[in-house]
Amino acid sequence: MIRRIGLCLALAGAVPLLASVPPSAWVPMRWNGNDAKSVDLFAGTPINCLLVTSYTPQFVSEASRHGMVTLVVLKPGSDPSPPAREAIHAGLQGVVLEGDFPKGTAAHVRDALADTHAVVVELTSRARMPLGGTAAIVGTYQGVWPGIQVMANGAAKAAPSGSPWIDTNTGFIRSVRAWGPAAIWLGYLPPAHNIITGQRYEAAISDAEMAGARWIVALDTDFSARLNRADPAALKDWHGMMQVLAFFESHPQWRALHAYSQLAVVQDRQDSLLSGGILDMIGAKHTPLRAIPIERLTADSLEGASMAVDVAPDSLTPAQRGILRNFTRGGGTLLTAPPGWKGQSALASDDITLNKQELDRLNDIWHDVQTMTGRKNLGARLFNVASMLSNVLASPDGKEVVVELVNYSAYPIENITVQLLGTFKHAQLITPDGAQKNLTVYTPDEGGTGVDLDRVSACAAVRLD
């Protein structure tokens, strides 16, 4: 039920508070907008933006009173402009167009809301994401559910099998971030018909946050119900999730850092929007990398890199080929996919991971990538991190480095070693519980800076200067 008048009045009081939080800082969550009291749940959490499919005036009022932004979620089917206007008049601050609407719909809705300050967020398929545009937020409703997938070697019962593979969106996020500074929202839902632990939710949050995006927090039906009735176990999981979210959101400066890596990966758009591709394969080896879409390939983008992998050789313009040629002439090592090698064909709307044929094709060059990067320290080397992913970032002057770590297993990891390029005098381990512990730095045999971490639970960061 929508009541416009009361909400407009309520909104008037909330506007100054809401206005202080720009869309790029909105921390989103899907929520049921019919229970005004439920807004209390978000007190003291980083969540400041609720995505609702229905709402009551009381709910919108209460959310505003708590300084929260509310956005209505509209899906394809009919013209979204009327319900969008209705929502804004009801006091909501924006609209989320979730799904693949006919082309031009978003512009049409923006026009319809031109007399308001409403924000229109598009959550499209990955294939249709408006990359490189001016939107403050870009998003997709698609994503892989982060977690460890054990790759069994069934053929050799008595032989040890390979390493665990981690399903992740981090490679995709890195690619999207390379297109511009827009905030990135991932709107995928928890898998249906699964029992999802708090730890898996923490991994979903961390997976996006570590790479510089935000997962639109979404709870499964059972968890929501338990949370609504204040079930202690659900509250404990909720607290853990919010602690992890707060950990990342309380360090917004990390989002402004750039990849601390001497390895550049040049990809075309199709490849870069899929999970499980070359970026995730390199990421699983904890080799820091910088993703470069071919449209953004410039001499500057390769500054400081010593190695480059070009998996889009047929898509390069002559000028871009010249850039890579100059890179090698300047001493850089370039690995190019073999002649005739072709990456992902045109991306369909339901494509988010590589299919088997594409994976087989990728294996053609993966061996060469591994051989080239090998044991080399291209920014950082991490040890005892098989169930983790990492992101190594640096300030523009390179004097501060942050190593973010996310643990996808259900168990804490002990005795992690991080070896970084460069010399740093101080190191601190920062954890979601708010602790900041000074670490002993040392010089490994290979040079650079080494630190040892005793234990990492859900996630952590090491800051060095």
Partner 1 sequence: MTRREWIALISAAPLLKAAPSAPSAPVAIAKCASYSDDVTACLSTLFDQLGGLGRLVRGKTVTIKLNMTGSPAYRIEGRPLGVTHYVHPKLVGATAHLMGQAGARRIRFVESAWGTGGPLEDYLLDSGWNVRQLRAAAPGVEFENTNALGKGKQYVRFNVPGGGYLFPGYELNHAYHDTDVFVSMAKLKNHATCGVTLSMKNCFGTLPASIYGDDAGVNAPNENPTAGRARIMHQGRRQPAKPAPPELDPSSSRAPGYRVPRIVADLVKARPVDLQIIDGIESIAGGEGPWIRGVRPVHPGVLLAGLNPVSTDAVATAVMGYDPRAPHGTPPFRTCDNTLLLAEMHGVGSADLRRIEVRGVPIASAVFRYET
What is the contact surface with partner 1 in residues (CB under 8 A)? 153, 156-164, 371, 375, 383-384, 386-387, 409-417, 442, 445, 452
Which lies closer to partner 1 via its Cβ, residue 13 or residue 442?
Answer: 442
Which lies closer to partner 1 via its Cβ, residue 157 or residue 425?
Answer: 157
DSSP state of 136: S
Q: Minimum distance from CB of 155 to partner 1 (Å)?
A: 8
Q: Minimum distance from CB of 159 to partner 1 (Å)?
A: 4
Which lies closer to partner 1 via its Cβ, residue 328 or residue 415?
Answer: 415
Give the residue from 459, 460, 458, 461 showing the smallest Cα distance to 197: 458
Q: Minimum distance from CB of 334 to partner 1 (Å)?
A: 21
Contacts with 106 (C-beta within 8 Å, 6 or more apart), sequence order: 97, 120, 122
Which lies closer to partner 1 via its Cβ, residue 76 or residue 442?
Answer: 442
User: What is the distance between the alpha carbons of residues 20 and 256, in angstroms, rounded to a whole number?
Assistant: 19
Per-residue buried b or exposed e for 244-280, using 16+ beta carbons within 10 Å of the residue's own CB: bbbbbbebeebbebebbbbbbbbbbbbbbbbbbbbbb
**Phi, psi dihedral angles at 132 (to 5 degrees):** 80, 10
Helices (H) and strands (E) in the chain, counts: 12, 23
Q: Minimum distance from CB of 366 to partner 1 (Å)?
A: 12
Q: Which residues pair with 291 in a beta bridge?
A: 265
Q: Minimum distance from CB of 129 to partner 1 (Å)?
A: 33
Burial of 284 (0-12, 13-18, 19+ CB in 10 A): buried
**DSSP element (H, E) containing 456:** strand 449-456
Q: Minimum distance from CB of 348 to partner 1 (Å)?
A: 33
3-state SS assignment for residue 178: coil
Which lies closer to partner 1 via its Cβ, residue 176 or residue 369?
Answer: 369
Per-residue buried b or exposed e for 96-113, using 16+ beta carbons within 10 Å of the residue's own CB: bbbbbbeeebbebbbebb
Which lies closer to partner 1 via its Cβ, residue 227 or residue 441?
Answer: 441
DSSP state of 135: -
Q: Strand 119-124 to strand 137-140: parallel, antiparallel, or no bridges (unpaired)? A: parallel
Which lies closer to partner 1 via its Cβ, residue 21 or residue 335?
Answer: 335
Which lies closer to partner 1 via its Cβ, residue 7 or residue 369?
Answer: 369
Q: Which residue has the tokens 């870069």?
A: 272
Q: Minimum distance from CB of 206 to partner 1 (Å)?
A: 17
- Look at phi and psi of residue 268 and say left if phi exceeds 0, alpha if psi is from -120 to 50, else beta: beta
Per-residue buried b or exposed e for 21-48, using 16+ beta carbons within 10 Å of the residue's own CB: bebebbbbbbbebeebebbebbeebbbb
User: What is the distance between the alpha carbons of residues 8 and 18, in angstroms, rounded to a whole number?
Assistant: 14
Q: Minimum distance from CB of 452 to partner 1 (Å)?
A: 7
User: What is the distance between the alpha carbons of residues 248 and 250, in angstroms, rounded to a whole number?
Assistant: 5
Which lies closer to partner 1 via its Cβ, residue 157 or residue 193?
Answer: 157
Which lies closer to partner 1 via its Cβ, residue 329 or residue 375?
Answer: 375
Q: Minimum distance from CB of 414 to partner 1 (Å)?
A: 6
Q: Minimum distance from CB of 381 to partner 1 (Å)?
A: 8
Q: Minimum distance from CB of 375 to partner 1 (Å)?
A: 6
**DSSP element (H, E) containing 228:** helix 221-228
Cβ–Cβ < 8 Å for 30, 218: yes
Which lies closer to partner 1 via its Cβ, residue 98 or residue 167?
Answer: 167
